[in-house]
Amino acid sequence: MFDWLFMDEWFPKFDWRWDYTWEILPRLIEATGNTLIAAAAGYLIALVLGLVFALAQRSQSRVLTFVVREFVEFVRSTPLLLQIFFIFYVGPQFGITLSPWVSGMIAIGLHYSCYLSEVYRGGLDSVPKGQWEAAIALNMTTAQTYKRLIIPQAIPPAIPGLGNYLIGIFKDTPMLSVIGVAELIHTANAIGSETWRYLEAYTMVGVIFLALSLPAAGLIRAFEGFVRRRLGM
């Protein structure tokens, strides 16, 4: 009944060649470095900008709050891929020509900063009002209160959410392949088109992503525990 599954002409496609796998592995590992750099750089941008956006949405200035909120909403409702294309291909029409790497980092950093700003916002809102009142009673400025009291207390509850987006950004780095950033998928594509063998390259890319993503969740939980202990919370 399932004979067709085992027809001879299917089998060659499933033949896995270890010698070939070892041959392409160094190139894939090198590309893994690029993927990690892209994820880390994009995430750093998002961590900083996300906090800036979150704070801006709490500012006294209605205009600033409105503009930032709308911008965040806009970025969150449009695809990352479109944003990457936009910065890389449309930018030059306005005289802004950026390398694939720079465009990619800006796009992915900006995109994720909008998601992170929501996570930060939740953390900032979770700090009790009494902390603000105590700060006023000590005559601290708003800036001092944020820096010394509110942000440090907002971070621990935000870590799980921030961590999820670290994994998210890591898995979204393949989108940078479309503008020629030599990360994992881009490299696997190149290998495949050179040899017409895709099985090993894509499989190994999957294994690499899996191997790096799986421990991440545990590490993030451990990191949250560490930060909470450090802050005595």
Instruction: Indicate the SS3 state at residue 57.
Output: coil
> Rounded CA gap, 228 and 215, in Å?
20
CB-nearer residue toward another protein: 109 or 156: 156
Q: What is the DSSP string of 152-179?
A: HHHHHHHHHHHHHHHHHHHHHGGGGGGG
CB of 147 to another protein, least distance (A): 9
Answer yes or no whether residue 153 interacts with another protein by CB under 8 A. Answer: yes
Q: For residue 102, which phi and psi values (nearest 5 degrees)?
A: -65, -45
List Cα–Cα distances, 57 to 42, 66, 74, 170, in angstroms.
22, 7, 15, 27
Q: Find the shortest distance in angstroms from Cβ 127 to another protein.
A: 10
C-alpha to C-alpha distance for 142 and 159, rounded to whole angstroms: 24
Count of residues engaged in binding another protein, rule: CB under 8 A: 19
Compute the least distance from the CB of residue 178 to another protein, in Å: 43
Decide if residue 148 touches another protein (CB under 8 A). Answer: yes
How many whole angstroms separate alpha carbon 42 and alpha carbon 33? 14
- Interface with another protein, residue 125, by CB under 8 A: no
81 scored as a contact of another protein (CB under 8 A)? no
Among 23, 70, 125, 133, binds another protein (CB under 8 A): 133
Stretch that binds another protein, among 2-10, 75-83, 142-150, 166-174 (CB under 8 A): 142-150
Choose between 108 and 150: whose C-beta lies nearer to another protein: 150
Q: What is the DSSP letter of 2?
A: -
The residues in 173-232 that bind another protein, with binding defined as CB under 8 A, are 231-232
Please give the C-alpha separations between residue 146 and each of 125, 142, 204, 213, in angstroms, as whole numbers: 12, 6, 45, 33
Nearer to another protein, 20 or 132 (CB): 132
Residues constituting the chain: 233
If one asks whether residue 140 binds another protein (CB under 8 A), the answer comes out as yes
When asked if residue 138 is in the footprint of another protein (CB under 8 A), the reply is yes
Tokens 């979204």 appear where? 172
Q: How far is the CB of 113 from another protein (least distance, A)?
A: 25
Q: Does 76 bind another protein (CB under 8 A)?
A: no
Give the residue carrying structure tokens 């796998």. Answer: 21
Instruction: Tell me which DSSP letter residue 9 carries.
Output: G
Determine, following the binding rule CB under 8 A, whether residue 131 of this chain makes contact with another protein.
yes
Which residues here bind another protein, judged by CB under 8 A? 128, 130-131, 133-134, 136-141, 144, 148-149, 152-153, 231-233
